[in-house]
Amino acid sequence: EPRDRGELKELLYESLQRGLLDADALAMMEGVLEVSEMHACDAMVPRSQMVVIPRKDKLSDVMPCVVESGHSRFPVIGEDRDEIEGVLLAKDLLRFFSEDAKPFDLTGLMRPALVIPESMRLDVLLREFRDSRNHLAIVVDEYGGVAGLITLEDVLEEIVGEIGDEHDEEEEADVTVLGDNRYMVNALTPIDEFNEAFQCNLSDE
């Protein structure tokens, strides 16, 4: 029997070589192991990239944001991004397109936001999503400021890999070779991906 994670991974690789597992199953099992060692800050959407909706917005302001982003859930903010007042579900906007629709009231549509620390482990967060029936959480830093957001899909992608949908555009590579020792690097490239591409060992601290 395996005595630690290292031996368990070796056993999984042996199972792959013996044909007892296929590559997809192995990758998923590795993802399950890694999720228990990762934290919300490792998989979240950073604060600067959050698509948010100001509480004072009118329906005519909200709809273009919803359509353009393709998201299904949006943090609703007050004066700034540290003032999260709730979460808007895109499907709740449908009622305002009926003939007998009531006046638009964003405050009345908001649902309570699930707020978690950036140190929460992803396996714990997965259980929290299940128990609370939420699909989005606001991630806060040690000082209580908003650090970003994370969705159920973000956590699942750490296990099964990228989950694409009809709204996802094909992403450009983070590191592109331009020519003789010349590269173009996306400023948001994860440190581990950068280290792998350039065979270096930069810290993420």
Q: Where are the domains of the chain?
A: 5-35, 41-160, 172-205
Handedness of CA 118, 122, 124, 127 (dihedral sign): positive
pLDDT over threshold 70, residue 44? yes
More confident residue, 76 or 102: 76
Contact 90, 106 (CB under 8 A): no
pLDDT above 70 as % of the chain: 92
Contact 132, 29 (CB under 8 A): no
More confident residue, 193 or 129: 129
DSSP string, the chain: ---SHHHHHHHHHHHHHTTSS-HHHHHHHHHHHHHTT-BHHHHSEEGGG---EETT--HHHHHHHHHHH--SEEEEESSSTT-EEEEEEGGGGGGGGSTTPPPP-HHHH-BPPEEEETT-BHHHHHHHHHHHT-SEEEEE-TTS-EEEEEEHHHHHHHHH-----TTPPPPPPSEEEEETTEEEE-TT--HHHHHHHHT------
Specify the amino acid at residue 123. Answer: D
Mean pLDDT of the chain: 85
Confidence of residue 172 (pLDDT cuts 50, 70, 90): low
Average pLDDT for 47-66? 93
pLDDT tens-place string over residues 155-167: 998 887 776 554 4
- Beta-sheet pairing, 146-151 with 45-46: antiparallel
41-160 CATH: 3.10.580.10
Specify the amino acid at residue 45. Answer: V
Average pLDDT for 82-98? 91
